[in-house]
Structure formats: C-alpha cells, structure tokens
Amino acid sequence: MACPICDRKSADGYRPFCSKRCADVDLAKWMGGSYAIPSQNPDDFDELLDAMQKASEGADTDDEDGNSPPRLS
Ligand SMILES: [Zn+2]
C-alpha cells in the first residue's frame, strides 16, 4: 500500500503512511480542514506542520475531546 500523502511505500508502525511526518500531515488535514497539501516536497510538509502548530497555539488548547479525526485502521 502506498502512503496516501506522498505515494511512497508505507512503513511499519505508520501504516498507511510512510512516516510520522505524513501521518501528521494527514492529521493536520482533519484538524485544519483548509490546509492544502502543497506538493510532495518534504520542505512543504515542514511548512505545513509549522503553520499547523502556529495555528494551534492561537486556538483553544483543550484536547479535542469528541472531535478526534477518524482512525484509519
Ligand atoms: Zn508519505
């Protein structure tokens, strides 16, 4: 199975993703809703995660009880 974020081979421990980074990106999509995945460039992933962290710093810091993204299993 290929990583749904970057189409690389998924890795044990991070399925269906290839890495924690891509798992985080997928989570960011669920949390942010409006973040586009710019490209397959890892630098863009860093920017995306950085933007996500900045956004969360200004948001309600409560854990998202009852608002968790669906689990892929
Ligand atoms: Zn990936």
pLDDT tens digits, residue range 6-58? 999 999 999 999 999 999 988 888 777 555 555 556 667 777 788 888 888 87
pTM above 0.85, yes or no: no
* Per-residue pLDDT at 3: 94
Binding site for Zn(2+): what residues are annotated?
3, 6, 18, 22
Instruction: Say which residue, 28 or 59, is predicted with more confidence.
Output: 28
Residue 40 lies inside a defined structural domain of this protein? yes
> Which residue range(s) make up the domain with 9?
1-59
73 within some domain = no
Q: How many domains does the chain have?
A: 1
Q: Ligand 1 mean position to 53 CA, how many Å? A: 19
Collect all residues with Cβ–Cβ distance below 8 Å to 38 and sequence separation of at least 6: 44, 47, 48
Stretch (H or E) spanning 57: helix 42-57
Q: CATH number for the domain including 14?
A: 3.30.50
pLDDT of residue 73: 65
